[in-house]
Amino acid sequence: MATRTIEMQLQTPGLDAQGRVQMSPLGLERIEREADDLHAEHMLINIGPQHPATHGVLRLVIELDGERVIRVIPHIGYLHSGFEKLGEYRHYNQIIPLTDRTDYLSPMANNVGLALAAEKLMGITVTERCAVLRVIACELSRIISHLVWLGTTGIDLGAMTPFLWSFQQRERVYNLQESWTGARLTTSVTRVGGMMADIPDGWEAGLRDFTRTFTKTLDEVDTMFTKNAIWIGRTQGVGVMTKAEAIDYSLSGPMLRASGVAWDLRKDMPYLGYETYDFDVPVGEHGDIYDRYLVRLEEMYQSTRILDQTLDRLEKLKGAPINVDDPRVILPPKSRAMSDMEAMIFHFKQVMEGVTAPAGEAYLAIENPKGELGYYFVSDGTAKPVRWRIRPPSLINLAALPKMCEGALLSDVIAINASVDIVMGEIDR
């Protein structure tokens, strides 16, 4: 390293005994120091685990050369709750409340996924009305999850107002959720073989009102962001994943589609009769943050389209059963359990022993807002699974963060991290 001599003449003004101004030298006339070779020294910066831009308790250790990122080392696990372990000690229906707490931004969709996986294991097909209600649950979850993403990403990039718009709309869905399930967040809306409850009277009108007026907010966001120079400057060409890389890193959901892979489980491996709904799957082409934004924005419009179709179907299925007619998995009505011997025995067995699944294993994946949410059950024939595995979409999407941040600027790391749409409850489980 070169040695550089800096000559300095530092003086402080003062007054002498006669009252004249006098400059006295500061003492350090010559400073010899090693010149800073700015490129030789890397800086380590720590973001999180308590930092608003890391969307929870994610911790990023970033090695910087000036402002350029050399590498990012994510540390996770601060919210680890051992859900998978806990699931091995719970009946299938008792696992459903655990799924509320994994991806807590879309609890109803997780409930649906878990019920579907358990039903696949047990060979149960749900009723038509139940399937429609579950589609509503999934699509409402997609909308609220994407709204949170939109609002928080906007804030991360310096736009405060869309956050308020999106949370206003989200509040309307939460009110619907509350009047259906009694809970705003811990919904637990499904049961193996059916639903916890049918929608209350007049609920459809509330949903219809929501789908009719909600897209106006999306239009506003579209006006605000899509052609906004600052938004474009911060997002286009940042955090790019090519098509091949996206597949190589096992990305899923909007992250995969933004990279140009037309893969949506609702279309390609349909469940709940999604093949009978009319909707489009937006696919990006550049794989950058901007395309992820466009994909998520369009997905909300498409979810609204699906919700409109479910409402038409609900009308035709008025009064149809929401639970399968199978006393092994569905509790009998309380009035029958108190008066009918057989019903009482089924009630007792289900409450005490739980719903048993035949020995075997099943993996079922649904297209969650964050990506492919898979539940993998291994059963040994008892009422509790031997293994319950959650395939967490945000964990696998986040694993590509170091790759996406290579060579980016520090401020881009915040934008890229926001674009992944992570939720730490699901990553750490």
Interface with another protein (CB under 8 A): 41-44, 61, 63, 73, 76-77, 80, 82, 84-86, 89, 120-121, 123, 245, 247-251, 261, 263, 268-269, 360-363, 365, 372, 374, 376, 378, 380, 386-387, 389, 391, 395-396, 399-400, 403, 428-429
Cβ 74 to another protein shortest distance, Å:
9
185 versus 386: smaller Cβ distance to another protein: 386
> CA-CA distance, 155 to 414, in Å (whole number)?
11
77 versus 333: smaller Cβ distance to another protein: 77
Contacts 24+ apart (CB under 8 A), 246-250: 246/287, 249/396, 249/399, 249/400, 249/403, 250/396, 250/399
> CA-CA distance, 371 to 303, in Å (whole number)?
15
Tokens of 400: 């590509």
289 versus 395: smaller Cβ distance to another protein: 395
Tokens of 243: 């098509």
Cβ 71 to another protein shortest distance, Å:
9
Cβ 262 to another protein shortest distance, Å:
9
Amino acid at 271: Y
Cβ 250 to another protein shortest distance, Å:
3
> CA-CA distance, 413 to 182, in Å (whole number)?
39
Is residue 232 within 8 Å of 397, Cβ to Cβ? no
42 versus 208: smaller Cβ distance to another protein: 42
Cβ 370 to another protein shortest distance, Å:
15
Dump the DSSP string for 110-167.
Answer: HHHHHHHHHHHHHT----HHHHHHHHHHHHHHHHHHHHHHHHHHHHHTT--HHHHHHH
219 versus 380: smaller Cβ distance to another protein: 380
Dump the DSSP string for 246-259.
Answer: HHHTT--THHHHHT
4 versus 42: smaller Cβ distance to another protein: 42
Cβ 367 to another protein shortest distance, Å:
13
121 versus 133: smaller Cβ distance to another protein: 121
Is residue 397 within 8 Å of 422, Cβ to Cβ? yes
Cβ 219 to another protein shortest distance, Å:
33
Cβ 313 to another protein shortest distance, Å:
23
Amino acid at 174: Y
Q: Is 77 left (phi over 0), alpha (psi -120 to 50) or beta?
A: left
Q: Computed over its alpha carbons, how large is the radius of gyration of the chain?
A: 28
Residue 152: count of CB within 10 angstroms of its CB: 19
80 versus 216: smaller Cβ distance to another protein: 80
Backbone angles phi, psi at 398, to 5 degrees: -65, -30
